[in-house]
């Protein structure tokens, strides 16, 4: 069966992470992605290193497979003409320009829908459109600080801390994909496209989930618990003889099995201070101290075996290399390879969207800057070789 989005054409005017993550996902599902980049510099992430492989940024490699790159100077009149012609043929436009830049380039939704009424125009920005902050640049790190995540992340006695990956960018890209797929479904019924306004700030505040609900319904500002959980105990890291492991006791029955079957200590469950989760949260400090003392003399292997035999959620703390070399990662075949024109082979993480009837396509390597400029102009827009040579000589394309 054909890929889920085979035949769908996406014009990708985005760069860095949120937009490219969204369009890569659409490409994984079979859509054709035309990635427009500046002729001299390309996507910002092409220069974000270390790490890099033979001068190519691995950051760029992470978010740009299954795309074709066309290098066009859209600030020029001829460059805008190319983009306009691509808009006329596209199903989806994804961009992350500032609102003022869109107006300057005549690429607002009001303009693009005149060119193509069926176009789904997805705008990804830091703070959304039509508000006083619409022109403020949106960076994941800043949003983690501004939207409360750093205030709830890190050691209680230390500084606020960011997460190790740009997760607000990533979840914004995922939100964009959800909205785009919904808009495609609506277009099947109505024949009309629409505008999608994805703000990193909106995504971040929504992603606060239970933390947001707790504050909004109690008025109490949440605090940091490090690796512990504000509402569940025990739910944190513990040390044993030869390692560190994460323990997530989600209910009172799991706690009972932990005490009786793993630690063989009935006093920890018979004590009214620890019998229920609510009581355990009140007496958190003394219980955690007792549990840590009990774990300290046990080996990681024995602990993991006993915990899993008793269906108690737990896992050892692994490095990234250990995670990818794990038996589970190997069994799920999470690493896929693609042939690259200069690197030979690049390895990426398999799409997590595992559809039985229309699985994601086999990956193609992230493109070199402008690798497909000529072929897109020739095949999609029917430009002649003379037209292409003229545009290249003028510096409009590369």
Whether the CA torsion 281, 283, 284, 288 is positive or negative: it is negative
Burial of 283 (0-12, 13-18, 19+ CB in 10 A): middle
Structure tokens at 347: 């390895």
- Comparing C-alpha atoms, which of 367, 256, 273, 365 is closest to residue 312? 256
- Comparing C-alpha atoms, which of 77, 127, 101, 97 is closest to residue 11? 97
Structure tokens at 118: 């069926």
Structure tokens at 183: 């808009």
For residue 240, what are the β-bridge partners? 243
3-state class (DSSP) for residue 122: strand
Known active-site residue 54 = no
Q: Give dist(CA 87, CA 107) in Å, integer.
A: 10
Q: How many CA atoms lie within 13 A of 397 on its CB side?
A: 24
Q: How many CA atoms lie within 13 A of 260 on its CB side?
A: 11
- Comparing C-alpha atoms, which of 171, 156, 153, 160 is closest to residue 211? 153
* Helices 167-190 + 200-207 axis angle, to 10: 110
Catalytic residue among 28, 155, 169, 387: 169
Query: If you write DSSP's letter for every residue of 332-389 in order, what string do you get?
Result: TT-EEEEEETTTEEEEEEPPS---SSSPPPPP-PPPPTTTTHHHHHHHTT---HHHHH
Q: Give dist(CA 354, CA 198) in Å, integer.
A: 25
Say which residue the tokens 């979840």 belong to: 171
Q: Please give the positions annotated as active site.
A: 169
């Amino acid at each position: 069966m054909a890929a889920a989005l085979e035949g769908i054409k996406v014009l990708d005017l985005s760069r860095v992470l949120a937009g490219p993550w969204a369009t890569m996902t659409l490409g994984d599902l079979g859509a054709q992605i035309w990635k427009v980049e500046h002729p001299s510099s390309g996507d910002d992430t092409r220069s974000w290193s270390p790490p890099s492989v033979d001068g190519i940024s691995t950051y760029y490699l992470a978010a740009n497979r299954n795309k074709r790159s066309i290098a066009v100077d859209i600030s020029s009149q001829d460059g805008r003409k190319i983009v306009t012609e691509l808009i006329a043929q596209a199903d989806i436009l994804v961009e992350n320009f500032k609102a003022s830049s869109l107006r300057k380039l005549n690429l607002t939704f009001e303009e693009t829908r005149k060119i193509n009424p069926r176009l789904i125009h997805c705008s990804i920005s830091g703070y959304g459109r039509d508000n006083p902050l619409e022109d403020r640049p949106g960076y994941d790190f800043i949003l983690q600080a501004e939207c409360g995540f750093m205030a709830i992340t890190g050691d209680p006695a230390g500084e606020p801390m960011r997460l190790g990956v740009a997760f607000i960018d990533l979840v914004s890209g995922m939100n964009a994909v959800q909205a785009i797929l919904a808009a495609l479904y609506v277009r099947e019924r109505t024949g009309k496209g629409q505008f999608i306004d994805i703000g990193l700030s909106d995504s971040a505040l929504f992603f606060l989930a239970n933390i947001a609900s707790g504050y909004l319904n109690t008025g109490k500002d949440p605090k940091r618990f490090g690796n512990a959980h504000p509402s569940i105990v025990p739910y944190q890291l513990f040390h044993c003889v030869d390692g560190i492991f994460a323990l997530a006791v989600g209910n009172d029955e799991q706690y009972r099995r932990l005490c009786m079957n793993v630690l063989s200590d009935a006093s920890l469950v018979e004590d009214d201070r620890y019998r229920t989760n609510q009581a355990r949260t009140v007496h958190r400090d003394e219980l955690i101290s007792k549990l840590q003392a009990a774990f300290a003399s046990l080996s990681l292997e024995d602990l993991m075996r006993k915990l899993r035999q008793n269906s108690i959620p737990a896992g050892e703390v692994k490095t990234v290399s250990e995670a990818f070399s794990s038996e589970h990662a190997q069994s799920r075949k999470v690493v896929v390879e693609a042939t690259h024109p200069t690197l030979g082979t690049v390895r990426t993480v398999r799409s997590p969207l595992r559809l039985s009837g229309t699985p994601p396509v086999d990956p193609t390597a992230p493109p070199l800057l402008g690798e497909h400029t000529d072929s897109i102009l020739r095949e999609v827009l029917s430009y002649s070789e003379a037209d292409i040579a003229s545009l290249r000589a003028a510096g409009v394309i590369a």
